Structure 1
Amino acid sequence: MAAVASAHSPTSLLSQPYWYRCLPADTDVHRLDRGLFAVTGNAAVQEALAHPLIVADHPLKASARAFGPNVLDADGPGHRAFRALLAPVLSAGRIAEYKRALIPGLVRGLVDSIAGVETDRFHDAYAHRVPYGIVCTILGIDASLENRFHRLTRPLARLLDYPTQETDETHANVTELLRLIEEQRRSEAAGAQSLLERIEWTRDRKGISLTDSEVRSTALLFFLAGTETSSAFITSLVYCMGRGVFDLGELRDEAVRDAWIEEVLRLYPPVQTIVRFAGDDLTVQGVTVPRHSAVLVSVAGANRDPRLFEHPDRFDIGRSTKGSIPFAVGAHSCPGAMLAKTEFSLLVEELVHRCSEVVVTRDRLAMESQSFSHPTDFSVEFRTR
């Protein structure tokens, strides 16, 4: 039998950033309520994410109602078809091109704006600038619309939380974003280099049976996931840099920088909880999960499993991060992981070059959100050389 977390209602439990710590330690699969299960330990999380009967698709899922058929809510051949559309813009060669010609200018622009500044609004005012700049360029969207896209996109993150926050605003924002994407696609500025042009070409060339509407939904979900996860994690990067007691110069070494980023990813995966559904009766770690149950998979719990990571809450750049799954595993693992890591590395490199110190000057030790999680309610100062 699965343990029942009777001391907490599901809503109150899941409102806590580290909710997995409140559950019994003698099992990794927990029945929170009728038809609602949570999976927490590393082995159990990896099993659940790779389980063929634990699926993303559900007819009442808020994101599917808002976006229509899309890459996040499809399974099997449909999901593979959606991912195939993204391959041309996420290939190693294309990312190398972004690294050379696109990302450095965006990173320099961000660091120019924060050098010498102390702010308590890093996430809201600054963290989105690099990822939004990247995705706007890939989508062929004029840079002057970046802030408008940011305002429209932010509320959509709540569609992916559990419990979902679905409002008239979220549906209106999806409609407006799709309209703007199509408007930009038709403009001369977008031309043949836009994401939509590329994925439509891929669809036609490979004979993938997806409609124009489904292509646009994929583009929008790519935009949402690519920007909000990166914005959240860039906030975590800056927070860890500001809390660390070390010489920033150590991060000039690429190998050290990569190891440091991997440890931040372990501690602060931008997607802490993934919502899945039992497509049939099944078992995880020997626990029966009935058909149609919602399954909340805790990536954060997996990455802080003390059976795999000694002193899991401690930042330790020397530890092995083997088993850390910040981008999930299985069919729905993040297709943009390589692009994201490139972005993060170039940003840290530029911060180290321009700043003598990055210091968290005020810290309430708070966390925000489940879907796109990051430290919040802190101030950080970027002291220049």
Structure 2
Amino acid sequence: MPGIGTVDNPAALLAKPHWYRNLPAEADVHRLGDGLFAVTGNAAVQEALAHPDIVAEHPLKASARAFGPNVLDADGPNHRAFRSLLAPILSAGRIAEYKQRLMPGLISPLVDSIAGIEADDFYNSFAHKVPYGIVCTILGIDASLEDRFHELTRPLARLLDYPTEETDQTHANVAELLRLIEQQRAARTADGQSLLETIERTRDRKGISLTDSEVRSTALLFFLAGTETSSAFITSLVYCMGRSIFDLDELRDNAVRDDFIEEVLRLYPPVQTIVRFASEDLTVQGVDVPRHSAVLTSIAGANRDPRVFDNPDRFRTGRSLKGSIPFAVGAHACPGAMLAKTEFSLLIEKLAERCSDIVITRDRTGTESQSFAHPTNFSVEFRTK
């Protein structure tokens, strides 16, 4: 029966990427200390993420201080207003356009650059190239600034991670990125089709009460979340392809490719831990959680719950994925999931066409980060036909 567990040293526990593994298996909700709870079981995580009184907004959150009002740190009507601004650029029709006109020109050069080589740091050297190219184009950012945006953005991931790392430099990076975005917007480099211009038109047409500053902050967070989660997950995809789970030629089939992506998402959700806050006294799975408590929901734990998935640590396509929540659930579920899956599918398709084999040549089975998690300490060889 799900219940509550306790731990003696929460700081040491949470320093581990797979911290949920070290909590009592018989409990789904764990009190880690005064005002700090962790939720790990699948049903409990889904309940917590969908609970109306477990919210994202908190005035002391590092991301809220750095970006101001934004889509990630808002709830209720404000959150719905922010998300409605993103809807036009994440519609099925717009994503089909990206797949046809934008993604091939970014994915083919990446595949060309890695074909025939062995990479010992795929994440830092290659994984960012496609997602940064996609989001820069959507934002209307000149391609010549892509490396600069990558340099400024990568440290900001720690503002969204747990535990958070906030420095004067991260605030300076946010200010510089917002300056560059505004500069590009003013230049109108995308002929009225950039993210900023699209969401500004949507705001004005719908009469949404958001300032230009709030729109730019949401655009920047869209950039950050879209690039860093995709970079992390592309690394996980390549890692699983390199573990020789099955022949690359099988991945040319759309259905097989979709199953592969969904199973990698279950095992390696790019966001492993989501931090929320109790706005009122409440219960999760019958456990009392006092008002103002921080609630750490473990997507990774939910996706490897043995009560939901047989042999949950084993990679197995074709299994039922009911209960897999790699993009979270509830009001804050990832709005870019369809765009991300389209990007991942096309990348795998091009890799399968170009490479005869993808092989992990060195593997220390490490995992980095909580919010943008991915395998680390491995080398991968892209063998050509």
TM interval, shorter chain, is over 0.9
Give the AA of the match of 2:43.
Answer: A
Report Cα offsets for 1:237-259 as digits up to 9, x if no partner.
00000012421101111001000
C-alpha deviation, 1:10, in angstroms: 2.0
* TM-score, normalised with respect to structure 1: 0.98
Report Cα offsets for 1:192-244 as digits up to 9, x if no partner.
11111100000000000001110000000000000000000000000000012
Give the AA of the match of 1:158.
Answer: R
Tell me how far apart the structure 2 counterparts of residues 195 and 47 of structure 1 sit (CA, whole Å): 33
Give the AA of the match of 1:2.
Answer: I
**Structure 2 residue 14 is matched with structure 1 residue 2:** no
Contact 1:358 1:381 survives alignment (8 Å)? yes
C-alpha deviation, 1:160, in angstroms: 1.1
Aligned residue in 1 for 2:265: 265
Aligned residue in 2 for 1:341: 341
Tell me how far apart the structure 2 counterparts of residues 140 and 244 of structure 1 sit (CA, whole Å): 38
Q: Say how many residue pairs are matched.
A: 383
Tell me how far apart the structure 1 counterparts of residues 89 and 79 of structure 2 sit (CA, whole Å): 17
| Higher alpha-carbon deviation: 241-250 or 58-67 | 241-250
Aligned residue in 1 for 2:156: 156
- Partner of 2:192, secondary structure, is helix
Aligned identity (percent) is: 79
C-alpha deviation, 1:27, in angstroms: 1.1
- Partner of 1:193, secondary structure, is coil
C-alpha deviation, 1:121, in angstroms: 1.2
Contact 1:11 1:163 survives alignment (8 Å)? no
Tell me how far apart the structure 2 counterparts of residues 218 and 188 of structure 1 sit (CA, whole Å): 19
Tell me how far apart the structure 2 counterparts of residues 377 and 187 of structure 1 sit (CA, whole Å): 42
Report Cα offsets for 1:71-121 as digits up to 9, x if no partner.
000000000000000011000100010011001111101101100010111
Aligned residue in 2 for 1:214: 214
Tell me how far apart the structure 2 counterparts of residues 16 and 246 of structure 1 sit (CA, whole Å): 30
Structure 1 runs not aligned, ≥5 long: none
Contact 1:355 1:383 survives alignment (8 Å)? yes
Tell me how far apart the structure 2 counterparts of residues 189 and 207 of structure 1 sit (CA, whole Å): 26
C-alpha deviation, 1:260, in angstroms: 0.6
**Structure 1 runs, 4 residues or longer, greater than 3 Å off:** none
C-alpha deviation, 1:2, in angstroms: 2.6
Aligned residue in 2 for 1:144: 144
Tell me how far apart the structure 2 counterparts of residues 18 and 33 of structure 1 sit (CA, whole Å): 19
Aligned residue in 2 for 1:187: 187
Aligned residue in 1 for 2:134: 134
C-alpha deviation, 1:304, in angstroms: 0.2
Aligned residue in 2 for 1:112: 112
- Partner of 1:191, secondary structure, is coil
- Partner of 1:283, secondary structure, is strand
Tell me how far apart the structure 1 counterparts of residues 205 and 345 of structure 2 sit (CA, whole Å): 34
Tell me how far apart the structure 2 counterparts of residues 247 and 63 of structure 1 sit (CA, whole Å): 42
Report Cα offsets for 1:336-382 as digits up to 9, x if no partner.
00000000000000000000000000000000000100000100000
Aligned residue in 2 for 1:228: 228
Residues 361 and 351 of structure 1, relative CA distance in 2, 3 Å threshold? same
Tell me how far apart the structure 2 counterparts of residues 15 and 235 of structure 1 sit (CA, whole Å): 22
Tell me how far apart the structure 2 counterparts of residues 190 and 212 of structure 1 sit (CA, whole Å): 18
